[in-house]
Amino acid sequence: MAMLSPPLLLPLPPPFSSPGHRFASFKLPRNSTNGALLGGQLAKRHGLVFAKAPSYLYATREELDTVNIAEDVTQLIGSTPMVYLNKVSEGCVANIAAKLESMEPCRSVKDRRILLRAFGAEVVLTDPEKGLKGALDKAGEIVLSTPNSYMLQQFDNAANAEIHFNATGPEIWEDTMGIVDIFVAAIGTGGTVTGTGRYLKMMNKEIKVVGVEPAERRVISGENPGYVPSILDVNLLDEVIKVTNDEAVEMARRLALEEGLLVGISSGAAAAAAISLARRPENTGKLIAVMFPSFGERYIPTVLFQSIYEEVQKMKGK
């Protein structure tokens, strides 16, 4: 329970003030020295006027519905910002805006070993030669042998695409005020590109949805056999662009150096694909929204920043 002072009326500076709205109200704690000092300083500096109210008000957290404080970390998920790419897009005829999913509470929509361990998970590695199928098979074995366990099935769970339809798609539509022309996303589980793309096409059937896959795999594009997630709606894709690992790494490095965006390899791949689209004459003047799903900090010991990582490790004080 919080003890609060009478509300204060604070004059707002232009351009926020208007003839009808010149004051903002808030409450200060009265049960502490800091609260009293702060109230005095604000009154002196801003000429505050105290509204008429009881000397003390008692409020629960539920009653403080005007504060901008999340109830818990889950309320911080979503509503990630979008930002234009400026330096790496030089020479492009279309505008590119990146949606920074890397600014989610866990800094990414992707999971890695250290993060999972930090949250208390037991990490089980499988034979790299068996690929994704080997990992899925092993996960199935663990579920069968572990009481009260549940497998989220991110490649097959319809809720994966559904959350992007209900959240990511509307966010992009609202942030771009409905003028987005092309949506670009790397294909992992298929949930992001399917859910987001489906929503955007529902809002405007002329919007193009472009998937990005590693050139070394070429499975989604149909050139090689391989695993295709069941939740991926390939019929939704207007195009699949193939990007090599080297191209993805180089672009991710450029995004850090030139745009100040520390992102991962999959974000670099998506950016490379978006830039290739933005250079096409037929896309002149269009707006391309590209998904940046990964944060670069997790990639510092990897090939992405390995040379810099090793250089820093060898640094010594003078």
Q: What angle do CA 139, 141, 146 make, to 5 degrees?
A: 95
Q: In what order do the strands lie in the sheet with 287-292?
A: 82-84, 95-100, 287-292, 182-186, 208-214, 239-243
Contact between residue 172 and residue 196 where contact means Cβ atoms under 8 Å apart: yes
Give the start-to-end residue ranges of the domains of the chain: 2-63, 74-109+158-307
Residue 58: φ, ψ to 5°: -110, 130
pLDDT for residue 9? 47
- Burial (CB < 10 A; 0-12, 13-18, 19+), residue 139, is middle
- CA 146 – CA 197 distance, rounded (Å): 37
Residue 242 in 3-state DSSP? strand
- CA 96 – CA 135 distance, rounded (Å): 35
Question: Residue 193: CB partners within 8 Å, gap ≥ 6?
Answer: 183, 185, 186, 187, 209, 211, 232, 236, 237, 291
CB atoms within 10 A of CB 65: 7
- CA 299 – CA 294 distance, rounded (Å): 9
pLDDT for residue 172? 95
Q: What angle do CA 138, 192, 189 make, to 5 degrees?
A: 20
Contact between residue 228 and residue 219 where contact means Cβ atoms under 8 Å apart: yes
pLDDT for residue 73? 77
Q: Strands 239-243 and 208-214: what pairing?
A: parallel
Q: Backbone dihedral region of 222: left (phi > 0), alpha (psi from -120 to 50 degrees) or beta?
A: left
pLDDT for residue 133? 79
Q: Is 74-109+158-307 a CATH 1.10.10.10 domain?
A: no
DSSP string for residues in 57-74? EEE-GGG-TTS---SSGG
Q: What is the pLDDT along the chain (318 residues), one digit of tens a residue?
A: 444 444 444 444 454 444 444 444 444 444 445 555 555 555 555 555 555 444 444 555 555 566 777 677 777 777 788 999 999 999 999 999 999 987 776 655 555 777 778 888 888 989 988 877 788 889 999 999 999 988 888 888 899 999 999 999 999 999 999 999 999 999 988 999 999 999 999 999 999 999 999 988 878 877 777 778 889 999 999 999 999 999 999 999 999 989 999 898 899 999 999 999 999 999 999 999 999 988 777 777 677 777 777 777 777 776
pLDDT for residue 166? 95
